[in-house]
């Protein structure tokens, strides 16, 4: 019996992610037991997606749930890696700040980082909202599970989000003493250690403390500095204090701090593609000209999988994250009152190489930011015989300050200018733009959702939200030449002058945008239990992404001054439709779920192009219409305590329905601009010297970063064994993910097409109730694939990339006490 329970428990932990339409587990109660003690594999999972406890297969929501066992056994220990377990989640990052987290292709404009707009995917840790993706890119620490909610959220959650939410719940203090520790070592000098301890301080107070460190050698070798870059260097601590004066009242005080300080992030050469710039002004010709002038430059390798780079600028990615929260849960009769008060900070200190080469073109690129955010949420949850409901209030305030510096180097003139000016390095060398900006954001909302149980089988669930948002910002760019003198570009300098060349690279500017807006949203869910274990549901949601402001500069008017009409953008209007069927059969040993969805967005917030060279090429604006539609399926089979298998798949068709003023892809950029008002000419892509459209109509093209087909899969088998007088089980497991090809540029380009790939992982080990030791190999077949492609500045045709990890291997030892 002991062996049977152990097998059931461990398999249960691995089945958690297969509930791709189940809901998140409760985060409010103190967690009992530990990672080696779980429910039986075919037992019901209790969740609180609708702010009350229900079985997962009875919740009419599209949600993926990933348990702690699956996170740890597959090595997906942060949000960036989570997409390997959730097919409809897309996470792309060139560094923590420049990170896109999308669900079903929706969330944020791909390739754009601006403090002035909201995230479409909310990230919560123990019910606390993190406003910036960069403030949530940390190692998972003492995590109980992660839930990925798909579709608009807002009538049950504090912050409104249009694409979905990621809920991270950590383990809570226990009144029984317990502890756990984990140590991992692998190739690439990978080391990771985690520990947590929990127990009572009195009969009413319990505490839990956890910590973790991760380090790994970089995956790219920089021949310029002789160092490996893109390393991992993470530290995290968390402490939680639980006060439970009665069965009806629980008060939890939590604090956490995480620090990341890796040498990174850098790119490697991938390819060169022809643009419409003059042939002598494209990458290979420019390198040849630099060498003729004595630079003696050569890219270290044209094969990106040699993992070599030659970046010459300083690299750093200092990232500090932390905060404090106070949560109170008070049971009052048939209802529960919940209060969540939180403060969080984010401190970002980057150093980047933005020309992607070993030449000194952009000599410095640094945009450090500091954020403080405050949030307060109140909820009242009522459960009755025929009616359940949740009502809530949410308040949020944040300020982000950024001090940016970008400077041109000695090779900048040759790279960016033409004619005789290209041979005069003094024109641009030392030209520096110093940016000062801040954003103040305030949000307040009232929300609620009701569930009317019309019959034992039929439930009707409407929800509403009233939201107010206000944003105000400041942006100032001061430009100095190599001698340190401040330059002015108003009125526009005469063509061909040194000042005109400098203003074509950096344009001084100052703006103070401000905007506020009320929004009302609602949703309706109807679900029906056709039979035991069979639930069907249909959902309609009218949602929004709130107003935004441009924080990175504005296009210019004909008078060469900022166009203030472009300083703010309207809210996105979202219409979402979804139907789903959730089934459980074979005595709950098998699960098959399927859902179909369509999301239409009007006033899509994206990067648009004003057709101005050298000032602001792209800025945030309402671009048009977007549609994402598709089908998602999940299948799990767990015939016995000795074996399980699962596969989750998604077909996602995400397109621009209307986007007529998009930035042009590189093959339609770099030439002399067509006359203002002329119809765009797309007939000469990649032809040097051709006229370039001022804007491109990319209506009908696919959204960037989205694979049409994606899947995750896995299996595990075990047998009972006795090792050194310890009863346990030997096991082998595999997991993996597949993604079809996708494009890595906001305006799809032939040069930024990323090939599809399959990554497969294996593990094998021995476990008992007290310890688990296993060996693992990730990307076992050493699949060579690309995580992200970027277009180098200047329309020179250079494409740089961030690579997926090569094959890694190692061993992990986990113990509990």
- Reported as a single tens digit per residue, the pLDDT across 503-541 is 989 989 999 999 999 999 999 999 999 999 999 999 999
Strands 709-723 and 726-739: antiparallel
For 765, residues 6+ apart whose C-beta sits below 8 A from its C-beta are: 730, 731, 772, 773, 774, 775, 812
Give residue 70's pLDDT band: very low, low, confident or very high (50, 70, 90): confident
What does each C-alpha distance from 288 to 294, 358, 423 come to in angstroms? 10, 14, 13
* pLDDT score at 112: 57
Q: What is the pLDDT of residues 627-652, one digit of tens each?
A: 999 999 999 999 999 999 999 999 99
Q: Is residue 299 a contact partner of residue 283, using CB atoms and an 8 Å limit?
A: no
Measured CA to CA in angstroms, residue 141 lies from 176, 239, 399 at distances of: 20, 11, 27
Percent of the residues in the chain that have a pLDDT greater than 70, as a whole number: 91
| In the predicted structure, residue 618 carries a pLDDT above the cut 80 | no
Q: How confident is the model at residue 42 (pLDDT cuts 50, 70, 90)?
A: low
| φ/ψ (deg, to 5) at 771 | -150, 165
pLDDT at 50: 64
For residue 36, pLDDT beyond 90 = no
DSSP for 480-499 reads E-TTS-B---SSPPPTTSHH
Complete DSSP assignment for 379-426: EEEEE-SSEEEEEEEEEEEEEEEEEEEEEE-TTHHHHH--GGGGG-GG
In Å, what is the CA distance from 51 to each residue of 336, 338, 560?
Answer: 10, 10, 54
Q: How confident is the model at residue 99 (pLDDT cuts 50, 70, 90)?
A: confident
Whether the per-residue pLDDT at 1 is higher than 80: the answer is no
How buried is residue 46: exposed, middle or buried, by Cβ count under 10 Å (0-12/13-18/19+)?
middle
613 pLDDT above the threshold of 70: no
For residues 577 and 551, what is the distance between their CA atoms, to the nearest angstrom? 33
620: confidence class by pLDDT, cuts 50, 70, 90: confident
C-alpha torsion 557→563→569→570, nearest 10:
-80
In this prediction, residue 553 carries a pLDDT of 79
Q: How confident is the model at residue 46 (pLDDT cuts 50, 70, 90)?
A: low
Hey, what long-range contacts does 420-424 have (CB within 8 A, 24 or more apart)? 421/498, 421/501, 422/289, 423/293
Phi then psi dihedrals of residue 773, to 5 deg: -130, 130
Residue of 804, 811, 753, 754 whose CA lies nearest to 779: 804
Confidence of residue 688 (pLDDT cuts 50, 70, 90): very high
Predicted confidence at residue 273, as pLDDT, reads: 96
Res 663: pLDDT: 87
Residue holding tokens 């905060």? 323
In tens, the pLDDT along 290-329 reads 999 888 999 999 999 999 999 999 999 999 999 999 999 9
User: Is residue 256 within 8 Å of residue 323, measured between CB atoms?
Assistant: yes
Please tell me the predicted confidence (pLDDT) of residue 615: 42
pLDDT of residue 109 exceeding 80: no
| Type and span of the H or E element at 81 | helix 79-82
**297, 459, 515 from 610: Cα distances, Å:** 35, 50, 22
Confirm if 275 and 686 have CB atoms less than 8 A apart: yes
Residue 781 CB partners (closer than 8 Å, separation 6+)? 760, 807
Task: Give CA–CA dist 492/507, Å, rounded.
Answer: 10
Looking at residue 77, its pLDDT comes to 76
First to last CA, the chain: 22
E strands present in 550-623? 568-569, 572-585, 590-602, 605-609, 618-622
Which tokens hold the place of 224?
């310029």
Tokens of 278: 């003059």
Report which of 536, 522, 623, 526 is spatially closest to residue 576, judged by C-alpha positions: 522
| Domains in the chain with CATH codes | 2-816 (2.40.170.20)
d(CA 223, CA 677): 47
State whether the Cα torsion 287-288-292-297 is positive or negative. positive
- Non-local (6+) Cβ contacts of 406 within 8 A are 354, 362, 364, 365, 366, 432, 433, 435, 506
Residue 805's pLDDT is what?
A: 95
Checking if the pLDDT of 16 tops 60, the result is no
Q: Out of 386-395, 556-565, 741-750, which region has the weakest mean confidence (pLDDT)?
A: 556-565
Mean pLDDT value across the chain: 89
Where residue 558 falls among pLDDT bands split at 50, 70, 90?
low
Instruction: Quote the tokens at residue 657.
Output: 């329905």
DSSP-derived letter for residue 98 is S
- What pLDDT was estimated at residue 359? 96
- What is the rounded distance in angstroms from the CA atom of residue 166 to the CA atom of residue 91? 12
Residues ≥6 apart with Cβ < 8 Å to 26: 46, 47, 48, 53
- For range 415-435, the mean pLDDT: 95
Angle in degrees, CA 238, 132, 656, rounded to 5: 140
pLDDT surpasses 80 at 682: yes
Distance CA(707)–CA(257), nearest Å, equals 35
SS3 helix, strand, coil % of the chain, rounded to 5?
10, 55, 40
pLDDT band with cut points at 50, 70 and 90 for residue 66:
confident
Q: Does the pLDDT value for residue 35 go beyond 70?
A: no
Token duo for residue 570: 């309207």
Q: What are the tens digits of pLDDT across the range 78-92?
A: 888 888 888 999 888
């Amino acid at each position: 019996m002991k062996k049977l329970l152990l097998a059931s428990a461990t398999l249960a932990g691995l089945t958690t992610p297969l509930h791709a339409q189940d809901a998140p587990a409760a985060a409010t109660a103190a967690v009992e037991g530990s990672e080696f003690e779980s429910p039986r594999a075919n037992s019901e999972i209790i969740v609180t997606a609708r702010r009350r406890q229900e079985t997962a297969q009875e919740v009419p929501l599209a949600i993926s749930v990933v348990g702690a066992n699956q996170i740890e056994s597959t090595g997906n220990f942060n949000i960036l890696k989570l997409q390997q377990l959730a097919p409809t989640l897309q996470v792309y990052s060139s560094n923590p700040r420049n990170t896109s987290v999308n669900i079903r292709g929706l969330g944020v404009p791909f390739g754009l980082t601006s403090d002035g707009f909201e995230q479409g995917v909310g990230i919560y840790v123990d019910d606390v909202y993190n406003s910036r993706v960069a403030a949530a890119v940390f190692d998972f620490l003492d995590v109980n599970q992660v839930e990925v909610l798909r579709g608009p959220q807002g009538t049950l959650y504090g912050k409104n989000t249009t694409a979905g939410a990621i809920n991270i719940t950590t383990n809570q203090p226990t009144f029984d003493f317990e502890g756990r520790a984990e140590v991992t070592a692998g190739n690439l000098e990978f080391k990771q250690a985690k520990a947590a301890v929990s127990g009572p301080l009195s009969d009413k107070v319990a505490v839990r403390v956890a910590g973790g460190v991760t380090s790994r050698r970089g995956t790219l070798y920089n021949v310029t500095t002789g160092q490996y870059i893109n390393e991992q260097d993470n530290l995290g601590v968390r402490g939680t204090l639980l006060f439970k004066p009665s069965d009806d009242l629980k008060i939890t005080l939590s604090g956490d701090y995480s620090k990341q300080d890796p040498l990174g992030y850098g790119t490697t050469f991938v390819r060169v593609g022809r643009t419409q710039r003059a042939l002598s002004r494209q990458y290979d010709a420019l390198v040849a000209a630099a060498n003729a002038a004595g630079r003696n430059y050569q890219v270290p390798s044209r094969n990106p999988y040699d993992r070599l780079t030659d970046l010459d600028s300083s690299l750093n990615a200092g990232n500090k994250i932390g905060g404090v929260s106070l949560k109170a849960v008070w049971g009052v009769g048939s209802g529960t009152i919940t209060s969540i008060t939180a403060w969080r900070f984010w401190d970002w200190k980057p150093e980047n190489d933005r020309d992607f080469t070993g030449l000194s073109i952009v000599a410095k690129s640094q945009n450090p930011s500091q954020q403080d955010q405050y949030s307060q949420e109140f909820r009242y949850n009522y459960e009755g015989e025929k009616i359940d409901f949740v009502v809530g209030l949410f308040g949020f305030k944040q300020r982000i300050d950024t001090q940016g510096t970008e400077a041109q180097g000695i090779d900048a003139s040759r790279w960016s200018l033409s004619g005789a000016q290209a041979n005069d390095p003094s024109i641009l060398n030392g030209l520096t733009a110093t940016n000062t900006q801040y954003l103040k954001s305030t949000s307040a909302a009232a929300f609620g959702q009701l569930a009317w149980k019309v019959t034992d089988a039929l439930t009707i669930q409407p929800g509403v939200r009233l939201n107010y948002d206000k944003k105000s910002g400041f942006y100032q760019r001061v430009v100095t030449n190599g001698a340190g003198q401040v330059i002015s570009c108003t009125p526009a300098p005469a063509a061909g002058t040194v000042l005109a060349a400098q203003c074509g690279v950096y344009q001084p500017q100052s703006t103070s945008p401000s905007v506020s807006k009320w929004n009302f949203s609602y949703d309706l869910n109807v679900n029906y239990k056709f039979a035991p274990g069979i639930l069907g549901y249909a959902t309609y949601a009218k949602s929004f992404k709130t107003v935004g402001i441009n924080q990175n500069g504005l296009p210019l008017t004909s008078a060469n001054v900022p166009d203030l009409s472009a300083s703010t953008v309207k809210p996105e209007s979202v219409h979402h439709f979804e139907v789903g069927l959730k089934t459980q059969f074979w005595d709950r040993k098998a699960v098959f779920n399927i859902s179909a969805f369509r999301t239409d967005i009007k006033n899509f917030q994206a990067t648009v192009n004003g057709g101005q060279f050298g000032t602001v090429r792209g800025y945030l604006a309402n671009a048009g219409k977007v549609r994402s539609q598709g089908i998602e399926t999940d299948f799990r089979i767990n015939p016995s305590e000795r074996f399980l298998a699962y596969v989750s798949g998604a077909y996602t068709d995400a397109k621009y329905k209307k986007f007529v003023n998009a930035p042009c892809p590189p093959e339609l950029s770099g030439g002399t601009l067509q006359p203002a008002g002329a119809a765009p000419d797309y007939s000469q892509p990649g032809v040097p010297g051709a006229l370039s459209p001022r804007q491109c109509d990319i209506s009908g093209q696919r959204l960037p970063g989205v694979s049409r087909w994606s899947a995750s899969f896995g299996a595990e088998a075990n047998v009972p064994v006795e090792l050194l007088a310890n009863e346990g089980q030997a096991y082998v497991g595999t997991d993996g993910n597949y993604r079809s090809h996708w494009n890595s540029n906001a305006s799809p380009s032939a040069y930024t097409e990323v090939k599809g790939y399959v990554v497969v992982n294996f593990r094998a080990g021995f476990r008992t109730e007290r310890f688990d030791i296993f060996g693992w190999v990730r990307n076992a077949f050493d699949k060579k694939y690309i995580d992200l492609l970027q277009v180098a500045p200047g329309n020179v045709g250079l494409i740089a990339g961030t690579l997926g990890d090569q094959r890694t291997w190692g061993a992990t030892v986990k113990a509990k006490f």
